[in-house]
Each structure stands twice: as structure tokens, then as C-alpha cells.
Amino acid sequence: MTLTGTWSYPTQIRFGAGRVAELAGACAEAGITRPLLVTDRVLATLEVTERALGLLDEAGFGRALFAEVDPNPNEANLEAGVAAYRDGGHDGVIAFGGGSGLDLGKAVAFMAGQTRPVWDFEDVGDWWTRANADAIAPVIAVPTTAGTGSEVGRASVITNAATHEKKIIFHPRMLPKVVIADPELTVGMPPAITAGTGMDAFAHCLEAYCSPHFHPMSAGIALEGMRLVAENLPRAYRDGSDLGARAQMLAAGGMGAVAFQKGLGAIHALSHPLGAVYGLHHGTLNAVVMPAVLRLNRPAVEDRLARAADYLRIGGGFEGFFDFVMRLRADLGIPATLRDMGVADDRLDALTEMAMRDPSCGGNPVALTRDNVRQLFVEASG
Ligand SMILES: [Fe+2]
């Protein structure tokens, strides 16, 4: 292991119940006078979005909304969002929602001033340096789910509608200028979404913790993030109005995304193509493939996960940690297998090829090959 690394930690996070009331003040602080609020179609119809638009309107910032955002946002959504941004003469974006609203909002702010196609900025080597950094618009991020952590991330996942591949678009200046993390906004999430998004946060922490890269700060955050999920996700699932559990889960979601600067792994390498091809929920997929990936990685992470089991007060070494994950999934009503999610096993070769091209492969503690990745899909299928 080389003890070198380039580390980047996040941004101003205004955390706490009721702090969405500071939305207009956050715009002023970020230098935004004509914000475009970007969210998904479903959220656009809900009261939380109306409240945010009302707060902006009252403060003289207008109430511009763009909501043509699919659950897995694609380049057509992005193009339409950029057009709305330019046509409206906006000077910043409020990225509002779960993963799709946050990711598309960040991508609109990024692409609003670029001249090259979005795929030129995929997270490959130094491709991000192709962007005109001065033309990137400022973003205020307001998460309404607790899991993606995209509010503190420097990337957006955009699905290529032609190839069904999820691409990570990266630039350091995509990091939101201000995050408003208000757990009251997450209270309305139904139990299945609470479970799926919460398991996404857990997967981020777990994969970051297990990745072989040197980043002890992220490893520490990942460990505490897993503890917060273990203690609070079952509570938030059982009682969505438990604001304390909602707050801890919102923190854990952000922590997972900070932690995965250390790397992701096979859980995400599998769930990205599954999500892109079948349109299934990202975090739920992570939870479904998690046991198979833990079994594959066991030789490389046995000691590390035994330490995590002690910290989470589970005990029992690797086995204890594994059994805990199985119990957590069952308690949250997560489907046991991909088959239970409606995935037929007739496309495993294509899914394997897509997984092998996923950048998350690089952070898996056991080297991924076509053979072991295909076997993971077989095991997770049930
Ligand atoms: Fe994820």
C-alpha cells in the first residue's frame, strides 16, 4: 500500500430540521439571483417542492421549476434542462430531490456553459479538465431522501439512453456550494424507498470501507456511517415520522458519499447495469447483490469486517457481520434475490460486460474478472 492520496472534503452543509427556510439565504450566499429548481416529476407534485418554490418566490428569487427528470436521468432530460436554464436566463441551480433530481440538477449547472457533449466529461482519467470550469453554474443541493449522498458529491450519474449504460460525469466544481440537509424533507418517504435509499448509504459506507485504497479519513467516516444506518434505518423504516432517526439517516447518506472518495466496488459495478437495463431502484439492487459480493470479497476483508462487527456491537467476526446484513435486509422487506425483483437470468453475459466496464470495479478488494462477476450475477439471481 502506498501512503499517498489526493483528498477533497465537502462543502458547507446546513444541517437540521426546518433549515429549508434558509433556501433564499443560501442562494444569496452562492451568488444566485435567478435560480432554476430542478427536481423529478413525482416530487414536483408534492408539498415539499411547493414550499421550496414559495420560499424562493417570497424572497424575490422567482419560482422557476424544471421537472422533466426520469428516475434514471438521461441525456435527453439533461438537454431539456439546459435549454430551460438558458431560456430562463438563470444563474444557478437548486438541485432538489433524491438521486435523480440532485444528479440532473448538478449536471444542468455543469453543462449550461459547456460546448462539448456531456459524454466527453465521463469520469475517465483527466477528461474533467476538458470542461470550461469558469462556465459552471453554482448549485444549492437540497436532498429529500437519505442515501445517495449526491448532495456532497462531485459527480452525476447520467444514463446513456442509447446504450443503457450509466455514466459518471465528474468535475470537482460540480460540488454544490451549499447543502441544505433538512430531515423534515425526508419524512414523507414511503417505507420501501426509505429502505432502498438507506441501503444505498450502507452500501457506500461498506464498499468504501472495504476498498483497498489508502484513505483513513474516509474509512473512519464509513465505519461511523455504517453504525448510524444499523441503528437508525430500521427505526426510520418502522416509523417514518421519527425525526431523530431521519436526521441520523440523512447524515449517514452524506457520510457514505464522502466516504466513497475511497472507492466503491462490485456492489455498485453490478447494480449500475441492472438499474440501467431494468430501471430498478438503485439502493434496493445494492442490498440484493450485497451478500454475494461479501462472500466473494471475504478473503480480502475478513479482518476488516470483523473490526466493523465489533464497532457496530454485532460481534462474531466476518460471520457476525454477514448475518447482520442478512437480518437487516429481511427486516427492511428487501427482496431476497434478483429474481424476486423480476430480473430474468437471460442477459447475464451482457450485464457482465457492462459491469466489467463500470469504474466501480477498480475499488473492489478482490480483482474482478468476467468469471467471478458472472458468478456474482448468478448467485444474486437466486
Ligand atoms: Fe449508490
Give the list of residues 6+ apart from residue 38 with CB closer than 8 angstroms, or none: 66, 67, 69, 81, 93, 94, 95, 96, 97, 101, 104, 105, 108
User: Rounded to the nearest 10 degrees, how much is the dihedral formed by the CA atoms of 266, 271, 273, 277?
Assistant: 160
CATH of 4-185, one of 3.40.50.2000, 3.40.50.300, 3.40.50.620, 3.40.50.1970: 3.40.50.1970
Residue 202 Cα to ligand 1 midpoint, Å, equals 9
To which CATH superfamily is domain 189-381 assigned? Dehydroquinate synthase-like - alpha domain (1.20.1090.10)
The pLDDT, as a whole number, for residue 2 is 66
The pLDDT, as a whole number, for residue 10 is 85
Averaged pLDDT in 10-residue chunks for the chain of 382 residues: 66 92 95 98 95 97 96 94 98 96 98 97 94 98 96 93 88 95 95 97 98 95 98 98 96 96 95 91 97 98 98 97 98 97 92 94 96 98 94
All CATH 1.20.1090.10 domain ranges of the chain, comma separated, are: 189-381
Residue 147 Cα to ligand 1 midpoint, Å, equals 8
Ligand 1 is an ion; its neighbours by CB within 5 Å are 200
Residue 28 Cα to ligand 1 midpoint, Å, equals 31
All CATH 3.40.50.1970 domain ranges of the chain, comma separated, are: 4-185
Residue 269 Cα to ligand 1 midpoint, Å, equals 10
Residue 260 Cα to ligand 1 midpoint, Å, equals 9
Instruction: Dig out the grid coordinates for 109 from the structure.
Output: 449547472
Residue 311 Cα to ligand 1 midpoint, Å, equals 23
Residue 63 Cα to ligand 1 midpoint, Å, equals 31
159 backbone dihedrals φ, ψ, rounded to 5°:
-85, 130
The pLDDT, as a whole number, for residue 164 is 83
